[in-house]
Amino acid sequence: MDHHLHKRIRRFMMLALMGILFLGVVAPADTRAADPPHDQALRDALGPGDIVLDNTGSGVTRSGSWSTGTSNPGKYFGTNYEFVNGSLGQGQTIRYNPNLPQAGVYEVYIVFSASSNRAGNVTVQVSHQGGITTHTVNQKKNGGVWYPLGQYSFAAGSSGYVRIDSAGADGYVMADAVRFAVPVADPDVPGPYSIYKPVGPIIFRSGFEPGSTGVTSPSDPGLITNITGTDNSVAAPNSWTSHLNGYPKFGDLVFEYHSGGDTSSARFAKIINDPTPGGSGNKVLQYWLGSSGGTADRGRVQGLLKNNEALTEVFYKYRMYLHPDIELVKQSVDPNGWFTLAEFWNQPSWMSWTEYPFRISLNLTKDLGAGKPFKFRVSGQTTPATGGDDEEQFVTLWEEKNHWNVPTGVWLEAELYYKQGDANTGRFYFAVTPEGGEKRVVFDIGNWTYHPQNPSPSGLTHFHPFKLYTSRSLTNFVKDKGGALQIYWDDMEFWPSMSHDAALRNALGPNDIVVDNTDAGVVKTGSWTSGSSNPGRYYGSDYLYVNNGTGQTIQYKPNINAPGMYRVYIAFSGSANRSNSVPFEIYHNGQTSALTVNQQITAYHGKWYPIGEYYFASGSGNYVKINSAGTSGYVMADAVRFEPL
């Protein structure tokens, strides 16, 4: 979540708390009119195999006296919750014994209604086959969501339990529901293969090698303010001045820091010798954020291309190394949604002339829970024109998060593309190539890339192509753990544009083979339902689907006339209620390949989603099969395309 949205929520909660009167033993609440219908969001979050034991269930036992509450509708599960005032020191307990249908590994969650008068040190024990694990839960925050306690192995039946204990608690202790979910593995790769290429002529390239000179700040030699010179290790265009800053649509590249009284001892950017494994003899640009002190409420090291003119699209690429110290963030149980890596401004809110500010932010995020993996998230947001960047209320028009676990300690080659446009013509693209891997699409979003009310958008007047920007609390959390937030950048290139997708994906080639769900070459097992919602987002007259499938399959068998290499694509209508890991099996020339597809992705509406290149023998013995086994959510089956290479 954006830090500005955090501020708005906190202000709203404070106002709500000030107006609450307490009657009897009802626990204080922070009720808000904008709450969703009664616990609907919590119920929608459940998977098909999840087991929820509510406080009213038969498997719940108590010691001591617990009170029942119904304040904060939408922030608890079921008809009510229970609570005690832990500061009275009575040591009441409540124990949840679920009846698990089978032995296995389950992820355990609890839910509670959070508020400032809750205990910050609630003892929660999980009894599992490996013993008893004890957690200390801060119920002042992270309420109204499923709070993860970790993954554990349980026997079948009701021998395992979750126990909440009020002993030693320093405020109200809340007991609501406990959830046991079968973990679903995230994909091993970011997304589909990427086949896009930049469109030239290239604007600039550099690897920060000798000749690239960081210009230091007169007031603090530990900081660079910009880069000059020429990187002679690569071919032209390689001059930071005449090529990068000299490009007519670019203004100037400068480096900026959020100070609050800090100096380079707290944060800096500089060109250094590559310290990564195998990096001997190489140069990189280092961003280092060690602490946020003084008056700073955040930490920031960023490159800024400012005062650009008519920059309505741009494509660039670089290598990025997320330092292993960033792994320390995972030791925090709190979610992290504000760790910005790039930011694109179609009218920046901090400029006095701004009328319709709009930004796209690329962030590294982590979900609620200790040990949760990193993900990428991108957001398109508007904000009122205020002339500053501290108090705006950002409104999110669109947002998407990937389901790939982002690694640290390895080089990632990234590609980014911005195109100014409306809901139909705007585009934001982000692809990643992990070291030793293949280029995969993380995001390919068609949507507004400027403020919808702006009658005359003028492009990216300012943008941060590479950035390290996060909160003071997160920066200092890593510092207190003995680390520092660091990112290395290398091998950057800027291009005017990227190849259009219509020629690559939307138009069929003369020798392409398409097998639709209605064709004779399709074999189904189990029951599939026909759908025709969202016209224009599927191939042919309809598509097929199952919800929370139990092993239904659909097999697409092409008639291959000419043996050889083919690129395989699928079509599906993406949505948040789809499965994020649909199993696909490709049988090709006597071999079988398997992969999973995240059908929550919305970037491929009306487009072909590539799933790889394979050699196919002639005839009808090859196939692509979809299997709904083990999926949670809707599984879509539409058409499969085979493009000869």
Phi-psi region of 349 (alpha: psi -120 to 50; beta: other; left: phi over 0): alpha
pLDDT score, position 567 = 92
Query: Residue type for 191, please?
Result: G
- Structural contact between residues 620 and 559, judged by C-beta atoms closer than 8 angstroms: yes
Identify the pLDDT of residue 11. 34
Q: What is the pLDDT of residue 337?
A: 77
Tell me which residue has tokens 């950057």. Answer: 492
Is it the case that residue 15 has pLDDT exceeding 70? Answer: no
Q: What are phi and psi of 272, to 5 degrees?
A: -135, 170
Closest CA to 55 of 92, 28, 23: 92
pLDDT-based confidence at residue 7 (cuts at 50, 70, 90) = very low
In this structure, are residues 103 and 135 in contact, taking their beta carbons and an 8 Å threshold? Answer: no
Rounded CA-CA distance 487/167 in Å is 43
pLDDT at 89: 67
Burial (CB count <10 Å: 0-12, 13-18, 19+), residue 397? middle
Q: Provide the pLDDT confidence category of residue 260 given band limits of 50, 70 and 90.
A: low
pLDDT top residue among 234 and 190: 234
pLDDT more than 70, % of the chain: 90
Per the model's pLDDT, the better-predicted residue between 468 and 261 turns out to be 468
pLDDT of residue 294: 67
Residue 501 has pLDDT above 70, yes or no: no
pLDDT recorded at residue 259: 65
> What is the four-CA torsion angle of 473, 357, 308, 401, rounded to 10 degrees?
50
The reported pLDDT for the residue numbered 38 is 61
Spell 177-210 as b/e; 16+ CB within 10 A means b. bbbbbbebebbebbbbbbebebeeebbbbbbbbe
Q: What is the mean pLDDT of residues 253-262?
A: 82
Structure tokens at 633: 């959510």
Confidence of residue 559 (pLDDT cuts 50, 70, 90): very high
Rounded Cα–Cα distance for residues 239 and 251 (Å): 15
Q: What is the pLDDT of residues 126-154, one digit of tens each?
A: 999 999 999 999 999 999 999 999 999 99
Tally of CA atoms within 13 A in the half-sphere of 630 that contains its CB: 12
* 326: DSSP letter: G
The pLDDT, as a whole number, for residue 289 is: 94
pLDDT (tens digit per residue) in 44-98: 888 888 999 999 999 999 999 999 999 888 889 999 999 999 877 678 999 999 9
For residue 5, which amino acid is it? Answer: L
Q: pLDDT value at position 505?
A: 45
**Could you read off the pLDDT of 617-638 as tens digits, one per residue?**
999 999 999 999 999 999 999 9
Beta strands in 521-607 (DSSP E): 522-525, 529-531, 543-547, 553-556, 564-571, 582-588, 591-597
pLDDT band at 536 (very low <50, low <70, confident <90, very high): low
Q: Is the pLDDT of residue 557 over 70?
A: yes
Of the candidate ranges 75-89, 186-200, 435-449, the one whose mean pLDDT is the lowest:
186-200
CA dihedral for 6, 9, 11, 17, sign (positive or negative):
negative
**How many angstroms from the chain centroid is the CA of residue 635?**
21
* 593 residue type, one letter: S
